[in-house]
Structure 1
Amino acid sequence: MAPFTIEPCTAEDGPNVARNNMIAFWTDPAWVLMWKGRTLDYVIQQASLRGPKNLLTDRARRRHQKAVDSKSGAIIGYARWVLPNAACPEHYWSAARVPEVTEEQQNDAETKYNHANWSFDRTLDELDDEILKVKERLLEGRDYLRKWCLRILVPESSYGAR
């Protein structure tokens, strides 16, 4: 049996994807600086409220995959892909598209998202703004499949990687 599998995400995966990502981001000192006075547990809780809506946003162009530990069933990795604007029809790579949900589930996801405390210290934003301007200039007029996020929490020793 493979140590992990790659599977598409569902809206129900939102809280577990959020947990995976927040733990991974928390290893970045700049990320931690944004959350002055907040604990990792608090940030995970708030990100979990936002998770389902994040997975349901822009289903036409976004694709989501998770790495799942074969033994425990835990999400140990996550990737979000953004399809090019013009080149891909909405049904492209439908296996990685988050399935539709009911109106009630969509409303519940929106409500939880809106009630999450996602306020953080934005004093470092000006550095990000400059980087984003350069990125936009370099990508202008080009349609690429973009990887937004790839966070894997698999300890190398778990699967014999070196």
Structure 2
Amino acid sequence: MPFVIQACSPVDSPGLGAAMIKSRLTDPHWVFMWEDNVPAEEMISRSTDRIPWNLVNGRDTKRHEKVIDDTTGQVLGYARWLLPPNLAKRNDVWLEAQAQDGTPEERATYEKLSDATSRNGQPIGLKGGEQSRYRNAPLEAADERVTKNENFLGKSYPYYHFRVRNIQTDDLYSALDYLTTHPDFWRQGVGSMLVKSGLDVADQYGLKTYVMSEPAALKLYLNFGFQLIETVSTDYSQFGGKEPMVHYFLTREPVT
């Protein structure tokens, strides 16, 4: 089956939304963050509506890639990277992964669709409050410890966890902001294609890379030369969690 890596555009939103949500629904910790009885198809529909705005908003720093089945056109995986400010200013870096800009009318429509599926900056249906703060606090603390006085290429965060602290003044890192593979195509090389594409850019510009990984992706990052720096296990049974939530913090030096 031929897999091909390509840039993303708003017309890809249904396929991207399906791959993202179906993958996340396999993680009980992610499912627990949502209000009860939100149908999967509704999650996919809302995600689909948010994606076009995410693609066209902040085009100077964002780079988006997808892996498709070249025969069927199905979206199999997706990655979103953030360029460091010094590279974004050049306007000539990794342009093949930059989403095409929309017209003013299209952008207004995309933003309106995104706003309609969000509340206070979070997707509708996502739990917040004390439970969210409790789960996020140890991740934020570990992030502070690992990234203090460091410059990196990559940060990988599931979007529901915590807001990345503002280190946009750092010129020697960019961010692996999102990585997902449709569950029907796990362990078929999709994630590796997406990670390698970004790491090739990191190596080209001599950038260090940093990721926060969930257990399912740990082996993938280790295979690409990442070193485990810290492990965070959070027991949130007081809120109804059935098992600890585990995340790994890893770094990778550029390969020259």
Question: TM-score range, shorter-chain basis?
Answer: 0.7 to 0.9
Aligned CA distance change for structure 1 residues 116 and 155 (closer, same or farther; 3 Å): same
TM-superposed deviation, 1:156? 4.0
The answer to which of 19-28 and 141-150 deviates more is 141-150
**Identity over the aligned pairs, expressed in percent?**
25
Q: Residue 148 in 1 paired to residue 177 in 2? A: yes
Q: Residue 44 in 1 paired to residue 50 in 2? A: no
Find the counterpart in structure 1 of residue 33 from structure 2. 34
Find the counterpart in structure 2 of residue 55 from structure 1. 55
2:87–2:93 Cα contact (<8 Å) kept: no
1:6–1:68 Cα contact (<8 Å) kept: yes
Work out which of the residue numbers 135, 141, 151 in structure 2 matches 1:127: 135
Aligned CA distance change for structure 1 residues 62 and 76 (closer, same or farther; 3 Å): same
Q: CA RMSD in A?
A: 2.2
TM-superposed deviation, 1:128? 1.9
Question: How many residues in Structure 1 have an aligned counterpart in Structure 2?
Answer: 158
Find the counterpart in structure 1 of residue 93 from structure 2. 92
Aligned CA distance change for structure 1 residues 151 and 72 (closer, same or farther; 3 Å): same
TM-superposed deviation, 1:158? 10
Q: Secondary structure at the residue paired with 1:86?
A: helix
Aligned CA distance change for structure 1 residues 150 and 158 (closer, same or farther; 3 Å): closer
Aligned CA distance change for structure 1 residues 157 and 61 (closer, same or farther; 3 Å): closer
Q: Residue 23 in 1 paired to residue 22 in 2? A: yes
TM-superposed deviation, 1:3? 1.7
Post-superposition Cα deviations, 1:65-110, rounded to whole Å, max 9, x if no partner, equal 0000122101010001111123442331111001111111101101
Higher RCO, 1 or 2 (CA under 8 Å, sep at least 6)?
1
